[in-house]
Structure 1
Amino acid sequence: MFKDFLKQQQSGLEALSTTGIIGLHLVSGPLVGFGIGYGLDAWLDTDPWGKLLFFLIGIVAGFLNVYRDTRQLVKKMDAETLHKGTHENKPAD
């Protein structure tokens, strides 16, 4: 009984951390892209094209990471649901 409670708590913390990582990906991708573009614009004197281009690339990269993380989370949830369903159908010893 207590082990089940601990598993539920751990599962909740994992979901919370995954949600935080997804939010971090949405913010960090465009920021890193903008930073790279800013540096290239200063170096190559191409203002504002480097910032714009790499900001857009950062947005795409951020959403791609969110898609990957979400897909991985859904697979894990499906596996847990399937695993939980097989344990519930086992006869008691």
Structure 2
Amino acid sequence: MKGKDLLALTVGFNIVGGVIAGLLVGYAFDVWLMERVFKIKTFPFGLLFFFFIGIISGFRNAIKDLKKLG
């Protein structure tokens, strides 16, 4: 694979990685708030918030890499 091929491959990894990282951080945040800090049920809110943050950051990084390709 050449340099541009690898850079194109990282675009997909950026999107998938951002989504997975957002889901993991959101789930951990909810569990942390439920069990340790407030002892209240916050389950879907932290997960959804960080899920959308992960989507935004993944696409933002993918756009940066696509600009390098062009």
Query: Which residue pairs with 1:29 in the alignment?
Result: 18
Aligned length: 63
User: Partners in 2 of 1:19 and 1:69 — Cα distance?
Assistant: 8
Return 5+ residue gaps in structure 1 as ranges.
1-11, 75-93
Q: Deviations over 1:13-66 (max 9, x none)?
A: 112101111110010001001100000100112101111000000000000001
User: Partners in 1 of 2:10 and 2:67 — Cα distance?
Assistant: 13
TM-score scaled by length of structure 2: 0.84
Q: Could you say which structure has the greater relative contact order, defined with CA pairs below 8 angstroms and 6 or more residues apart?
A: 2
- For 1:70, the aligned partner's letter is L
Larger Rg: 1
Return 5+ residue gaps in structure 2 as ranges.
35-41
Runs of 4+ in 1 over 2 A off after TM superposition: none
Query: Which residue pairs with 1:62 in the alignment?
Result: 58
Give identity over the alignment, percent: 37
- For 1:72, the aligned partner's letter is K
